[in-house]
Homo-oligomer: A and B are copies of this chain.
Amino acid sequence: MNDFFKLISPSDFVALFADFDPLPPEPVPTSLARGRILAETLVSRELLPPFSRSTMDGFAVRAADTFGCSESETALLTVVGEIAMGASGQVFSLGPGQATRIWTGGELPQKADAVVMVEYTQAFDRETVAVFRPVAPGENVIRAGEDYRPDTVILEAGSRLRPQDLGVLSGLGITDVPVFRRPKVAILSTGDELVPPDQTPPPGKIRDINSTTLAALVEEAGCIPLSYGICTDDFDRMLALCSEALDQADVLLLSGGSSVGQRDFTQRVFGAIPGSHLLVHGVSVRPGKPTILARQGNKALFGLPGHVASALVVFTCFVRPLLRQYSGLGPTLGLQTVTAITGQQIPSVIGREDYVRVSLVPQDAGRPPLAMPVYGKSGLLNPLVRADGLLPIGRDVEGLDKGIEVVVLLFP
């Protein structure tokens, strides 16, 4: 029996995240809240618009005064004033047969109930306007509160705040919004062979790639990366660093070698952190099998594979959904997908979920792109740069034929 069967399945892994709580809400200025997730349902506290407004340039009228008028039989109305933009229209009160000049957005005078568009009027004399098309009551007018009234729901809890949502909140005078706090994610690379990217590695060493990649992935997911640099494989030092990171962060991403010894080492470090317990020590996914998840309170500790290609898959499939859960979005992938056609046969093995890197080759208009696997030895980086996304192949599927319709998860 394939040893992948002894591991947790990807769906069971993600199911664990429902037990993690979204982070506590914090108030944020509306102007800075783009992309944040509402922690509470917001209701209007006031009328919008605050007064009955014209939607056209023209004349505010009592609609009844225009009934029956036509080009041959105009209604003649006395213009008692002009409502300048930003001025109160309510200083006027229309008597029968009276009108005021008004602009788009202007406040209607008292007793007015409609606006005649300027196109359907003609100046008759200095004080009189001729109207040649009747208006119904309410025509070309937005009534006070027609858009929002006190207690109208504006946005539900869990909504991601888009630019237009922020605009509407501003219009309603809501200048601070309660949103879920953004997860802070500590990033620590382990391995005696690593040097920082700005150093020239001496013989036997290479530059750290995961710190940069993971920090950018964390940012892309709307979270805050905290860099803890590189740690050598020293138990006490790593335990101290991990403890310090967990004091500051909600999530720790420890990436290191995927070998059995290295994995045991990470498990021992995680196990030595007070209050922590191991939830996952291996998942039936490729790449990414040696992934570790531990939990301390509502905080999560991930042990990620050392190869950046594997770490990217694990981040996409598991870290990202947990970050979304913390952020108030639920434990979803949140990735754009595209339908594609396999450009060649793609082998897979029953018992594990494969995430195959693919590049998308555009076809003629109207036809889905071809998904071409981007193979390469697991330590190579250039296939990662050439890939557009990941093609998941289920654990019960023994490879895909050429020409099959598939769904590709696009890298963000």
- Chain A contacts to B: CB under 8 angstroms: 30-31, 34-35, 48-51, 53, 55, 57, 83-90, 103-107, 142, 146-148, 152, 154-155, 162-173, 175, 191-194, 197-198, 200-217, 219-220, 232-233, 257-261, 306, 308, 312, 336, 377-382, 384-385, 411-412
Contact = CB atoms under 8 A, between A and B. Distances in A.
B257 A103 contact: yes
A407 B90 CA distance: 46
A152 B382 CA distance: 10
A85 B197 CA distance: 18
A378 B141 CA distance: 10
Contacts of A163: 212-217, 220, 312
B167 A205 contact: no
A83 B35 CA distance: 48
Contacts of A147: 379-382
A167 B212 contact: yes
A233 B87 CA distance: 13
A30 B197 CA distance: 10
A49 B206 contact: yes
Given A85-B192, A212-B30, A212-B31, A259 B168 contact: no
A204 B142 contact: no
Contacts of A88: 202-204
A193 B105 contact: yes
A168 B86 contact: no
B86 A191 contact: yes
A233 to B, nearest CB: 7
Contacts of A214: 163
25 contacts: A34-B219, A49-B206, A49-B379, A51-B203, A53-B206, A57-B261, A83-B204, A85-B257, A86-B204, A88-B202, A88-B204, A105-B191, A105-B193, A105-B257, A105-B379, A147-B382, A163-B215, A163-B216, A163-B312, A164-B312, A164-B411, A170-B213, A173-B200, A175-B197, A175-B198
Given A53-B379, A163-B216, A257 B104 contact: yes
A155 to B, nearest CB: 7
A219 to B, nearest CB: 6
Given A191-B85, A257-B85, A212 B51 contact: no
Contacts of A200: 173
B171 A107 contact: no
Contacts of A146: 377, 380
Contact of A259 (B57, B192, B197, B198): B57
A49 B392 CA distance: 29
Contacts of A212: 30-31, 163, 166-167, 169-170
A157 to B, nearest CB: 14
Contacts of A377: 55, 142, 146
Contact of A208 (B104, B170, B215): B170
Nearest to A211: B170
A206 B148 contact: no
Given A31-B212, A170-B208, A209-B170, A164 B308 contact: yes
Nearest to A171: B209
B193 A86 contact: yes
Contacts of A203: 51, 88, 90, 107
Contacts of A194: 86
Contact of A171 (B50, B83, B197): B197
Nearest to A56: B259
